[in-house]
Amino acid sequence: MIPMMGKSMKEMLDKWSKMSNASGKVEIEVSEMFSTLAEDVITRIVFGNSYEDGKAIFELQAQQMVYATEAYQKVFIPGYRFLPSKKNRICWRLDKEVRKSLRKLIEERRKIDEAVLSEECPNDLLEVMIKAGKHTTSNLLTWTTILLAMHPQWQELARDEVLTVCGARDPPSKHQISKLKTLGMIINESVRLYPPAVAAIRRAKVDTQLGDFTLPRGTELLIPIIAIHHDQTLWGQDANEFNPARFGLGVAQAAKHPMAFMPFGLGARRCVGQNLAVLQAKLAIAMILQRFSFDLSPSYQHAPTILMLLCPQYGAPIIFQKL
Ligand code: HEM
């Protein structure tokens, strides 16, 4: 998997190098680039030979996200998404199309000779992964790049670590990636401050007592991940500041409550793509650090906004300088 990711990454970075001017500088809108990268990686991993079909499904999902965001931006009314408004109807239709395309692909996979169906293309993973992975991972990469551009001292520390552990040119191996502790802390701090998924939803299956609240069966709960991640009673006075050092003793020790960090959700339904997302993020950032230093473009405006996921409202223009 890592060589496949490394290949997509290297192709992207070679393109940036070619685009740079005589002094080795290039301005890149990273949110777009990382979106393409994450799509490329997941589509290759999940769909293999059905790459083109996979891309078509991602396009349908992008349309679905636009409509769903508009619907959710209205006042939050439990059960709103079940009402037959025009936008909801379009969402349902797109959802049906996505499911239909996925089912078709899975059927096609089933027809493949069993001998060809190796561990590399288990078809049940297909439906699971496609639904969640692209936008969240590119979002994580975008915020981490913005934060490292804002905090050059952490960028330097991360680069020193990458160069010491992995050298200056070759894509890091799995073994090397597991040794990138500072980079791991930076990524944790990035998803704490800017969790791509800002909330998770649960429904009480039975009547439940939660602290002082009695929740009747069927109650929908919105768990505000982003608010929990910024809560000063849990994270201290500097809760809104970028301080990867808070993760120095591990995730469980970073806040006053061991479960306060939940960018991938918690419990049995937590994110199945967590390891893949973190692996991809570490590899991508490490490979960028090996080749470029970077700063925010003067046109960058810091305006985190929720468009289903937490996004930089005016994009993420970053100036890269070849090392
Ligand atoms: C930075 C990247 C990612 C973030 C922040 C993220 C976050 C989350 C969150 C918050 C949940 C809800 C968990 C809960 O309700 O407790 C979730 C669920 C899920 N994620 Fe991710 N995710 C990321 C990347 C990925 C990737 C790369 C994949 C697949 C390749 C993926 C697949 C899934 C799936 C299938 C679920 C549903 C699990 C279930 O309902 O049992 N995610 N993710």
Question: What pLDDT was estimated at residue 79?
Answer: 62
Atom of ligand 1 nearest to the CA of 134: 27
Taking the CA atoms of 47, 51, 55 and 60 in sequence, report the sign of the dihedral they define: negative
Residue 281 — very low, low, confident or very high, per pLDDT cuts 50/70/90?
very high
Is residue 136 annotated as a catalytic residue, yes or no? yes
Going by alpha carbons, the residue nearest to atom 36 of ligand 1 is 271
Residue among 34, 47, 261, 264 flagged as catalytic: 264
11-44 pLDDT, tens digit per residue, is: 899 999 999 999 999 999 999 889 888 877 877 7
Atom of ligand 1 nearest to the CA of 225: 10
Residue among 58, 91, 136, 166 flagged as catalytic: 136
Computed over every residue of the chain, the mean pLDDT equals: 86
Burial class (CB in 10 A: 0-12, 13-18, 19+), 115: exposed
Question: What pLDDT was estimated at residue 134?
Answer: 78
Q: Do the beta carbons of residue 281 and residue 288 sit within 8 Å?
A: no
Report residues whose beta carbon is within 6 angstroms of any ligand 1 atom. 42, 128-129, 131-133, 136-137, 140, 191, 196-197, 200, 263-267, 269-273, 276-277
123-137 pLDDT, tens digit per residue, is: 445 555 655 777 899
Residue 269 Cα to ligand 1 midpoint, Å, equals 9
Residue 273 Cα to ligand 1 midpoint, Å, equals 6
Asked whether residue 239 carries a pLDDT value surpassing 80, the answer given is yes
In this structure, of 47-51, 61-65, 121-125, 139-143, the range with the lowest mean pLDDT score is 121-125
User: Is residue 311 marked as binding?
Assistant: no
Residue 115 — very low, low, confident or very high, per pLDDT cuts 50/70/90?
very low
Question: What pLDDT was estimated at residue 250?
Answer: 95
Q: Count the neighbouring beta carbons within 10 Å of the beta carbon of residue 34.
A: 27
Asked whether residue 197 carries a pLDDT value surpassing 70, the answer given is yes
Going by alpha carbons, the residue nearest to atom 43 of ligand 1 is 271
Give the Cα separation of 26 and 84 in Å (integer).
48
Asked whether residue 321 carries a pLDDT value surpassing 70, the answer given is yes
Beta bridge partners of residue 311, listed in sequence order: 305
ipTM: 0.96
Is residue 261 annotated as a catalytic residue, yes or no? no
Going by alpha carbons, the residue nearest to atom 31 of ligand 1 is 273
Going by alpha carbons, the residue nearest to atom 27 of ligand 1 is 133
In this structure, of 48-57, 224-233, 269-278, 300-309, the range with the lowest mean pLDDT score is 48-57
Residue 152 Cα to ligand 1 midpoint, Å, equals 30
Distances (CA, A) of 178 to 72, 142, 159, 181, 281: 38, 21, 15, 7, 12
CB-based contacts of 8: which residues, under 8 Å, 6+ apart? 37, 40, 41, 44
> Tokens standing for 147?
């934060």
Question: What pLDDT was estimated at residue 114?
Answer: 45
Is residue 214 annotated as a catalytic residue, yes or no? no
Closest-CA residue to 283 (of 135, 179, 175, 172): 172
Share of the chain above pLDDT 90, in %: 60
76-88 pLDDT, tens digit per residue, is: 555 655 666 776 7
Give the angle subtended at the CA of 47 by the CAs of 44 and 191, to the nearest 5°: 60
136-184 pLDDT, tens digit per residue, is: 999 999 999 999 999 999 999 999 999 999 999 889 999 999 999 999 9
E strand or H helix at 247: none
Asked whether residue 104 carries a pLDDT value surpassing 90, the answer given is no
Asked whether residue 249 carries a pLDDT value surpassing 70, the answer given is yes
Residue 272 Cα to ligand 1 midpoint, Å, equals 6
Residue 53 Cα to ligand 1 midpoint, Å, equals 22
Beta pairing class for 213-215 and 220-223:
unpaired
